[in-house]
Amino acid sequence: MASRRARSLGSALTAPTAPTGLSFAGLEDLLGYKLRRAQGAVHRDYMVTVGEIRLTQKQTAVMWLVQGNAGVSQGEVGSALGMDRATMMALVDRLESRELLIRRRSATDARRRELHVTAAGERLMKQLRMRIAVHESRIKSLFNAAELRTLERLLTRFQSLDGAGDAEALD
Amino acid sequence: MASRRARSLGSALTAPTAPTGLSFAGLEDLLGYKLRRAQGAVHRDYMVTVGEIRLTQKQTAVMWLVQGNAGVSQGEVGSALGMDRATMMALVDRLESRELLIRRRSATDARRRELHVTAAGERLMKQLRMRIAVHESRIKSLFNAAELRTLERLLTRFQSLDGAGDAEALD
DNA sequence: TATTGTTATACTCTATAACTATA
DNA sequence: TATAGTTATAGAGTATAACAATA
């Protein structure tokens, strides 16, 4: 019921559809709704751009942090991304079953599981980073330099809603 | 592991935690990540503010549109919000089982199901709209008038990623 | 006792595919 | 044939609770 961009990778994404003549009755005036819409559009573009690599934004965030912090514990990554332990478990299970990362028992604290990116994970991340660069330039190209600075500055301000707020969900 | 705001309603939300000393290795420089973080913070605030009313943002969007367009079909709402039919079904099932809206077979096209908000749904939406007003003023108070205008204008621009793009997911 | 990871369970959103009933 | 809704199924994120191993 609508024409849209790159649906060519033929997967999973339902995009907003053509005009419906339906009244939004003020829904579009909510800042929360606008933010959702923006996030939804970006998320779709991300998934299309990532394509057959098939990593969600959240999985990407985990891989990214593990890659940048070899041996980090599940709990550390989880709390940095705002996930509880159970959520993190499920996510790491998936990444481990795809052999993109492994758990290793810590030598100094047997309760901890240190996370490491596998060789396959490194290769995939290398590909993925190129896709992400494409995605990032596309979404950033919607703004000029000054707008982009402003947008990033204003977006960051929402973090104060979280009190201390360290890091947040990528998904 | 962190102090945060209003967790008083005692439910479901994991917030970002305290500093971990973990390297983000550039993750925080991604515009998509910043947008995610912002959306996450707003979503958490939404759920806390909505409290025991227990409607997700997406359920809220559906209720809102049905209220503003009595007799609209499932398909119309779904496409306006970027959900496919199956997703819409599950969502309407939940709302119907809570007796917040009902399906009614269309008199003119027996394939269609017209959606109507029930009296209970109207009452709940009245309460919900007050909560949403609180939530909206809180998140908007993070910005001055000029910033808010700018932010809303820039956020809207992401819609162009969706090509034609009519409406988008509230969740 | 407190912490880390684990498992079990559950709810929501998302999506595909196949099906029914209408048109 | 095409469309609206439906059902079944599945993957993913989220969260709670209870538990084991370790500190």
Q: Considering only alpha carbons, which residue of chain A is nearest residue B87?
A: A14
Minimal C-alpha gap between A74 and chain B (Å): 12
* Residues lower than pLDDT 70 in chain B: 1-20, 163-171
Residue A38's pLDDT is 87
A141 token code pair:
């190209």
Q: Do B32 and A61 touch (CB under 8 A)?
A: no
pLDDT classification of A11: cutoffs 50, 70, 90: very low
Is the pLDDT at A112 greater than 50, yes or no? yes
Q: Which pLDDT score is estimated for A96?
A: 95
Interval A11-17 mean pLDDT: 39
- Nearest nt to B171, CA vs C1'? C13
Q: For position A5, what pLDDT does the model report?
A: 35
Residues whose CB falls within 8 Å of the CB of residue A121, separated by 6 or more in sequence, listed in order: A63, A67, A95, A99, A100, A101
The shortest C-alpha distance from B135 to chain A (Å) reads 9
Q: A149: which chain B residues are within 8 Å (Cβ-Cβ)? A: none
User: Residue A20: what pLDDT?
Assistant: 53
φ/ψ of residue A117, rounded to 5: -80, 135
Is the entire prediction scored with pTM above 0.85?
no
Please report the pLDDT score of residue A138 as a whole number. 92
Mean residue pLDDT of chain A comes to 83
Tell me the pLDDT tens digit for each residue of A18-61. Answer: 445 889 999 989 999 999 888 888 888 888 889 889 999 999 99
> Nearest-CA distance from A17 to chain B in Å?
5
Query: Is A33 near chain B, with CB under 8 Å?
Result: yes
pLDDT value, residue A15: 40
Task: Using a pLDDT cut of 70, give the percent of chain A over it.
Answer: 83
Per-window interface: B 98-127 vs A, CB < 8 A? none
What is the structure's pLDDT at B66? 97
Q: How far is the CA of A118 from the C1' of C6 (A)?
A: 23
The CA-based angle B147-B149-B153, given to 5 degrees, is: 115
Give B117's strand partners. Answer: B101
Per-residue pLDDT at A129 exceeds 70:
yes
Q: List pLDDT tens digits, range A68-95.
A: 999 999 999 998 988 889 999 999 999 9
- Residue B131: name the closest of B8, B48, B14 by CA: B48
Confidence of residue A102 (pLDDT cuts 50, 70, 90): very high
User: Which band of pLDDT confidence, cut at 50, 70 and 90, is reported for residue A115?
Assistant: very high
Centroid of chain to Cα A87:
15
Q: Is B19 on the interface with A (CB under 8 A)?
A: yes
| A68–B167 CB contact, under 8 Å | no
**What's the average model confidence in pLDDT over A4-16?**
36
Q: Which pLDDT score, from 0 to 100, does residue A163 have? A: 60
Q: Tokens 């990528």 identify what position? A: A170
Nearest-CA distance from A98 to chain B in Å? 22
| pLDDT category of residue A16 using cuts at 50, 70 and 90 | very low
pLDDT of A97 above 90: yes
* pLDDT value at residue B82: 80
Residues with CB under 7 A from strand C: A 11-14, 73-75, 78, 85-86, 89-90, 92, 103, 109, 111-113; B 56, 58-59, 82-87, 90-91, 94, 109-111, 169, 171
* Residue A157 contacts B where some CB pair is shorter than 8 Å: yes
**B85 CA → D8 C1’, Å:** 14
Residue B84 forms contact with A (CB below 8 Å) = yes
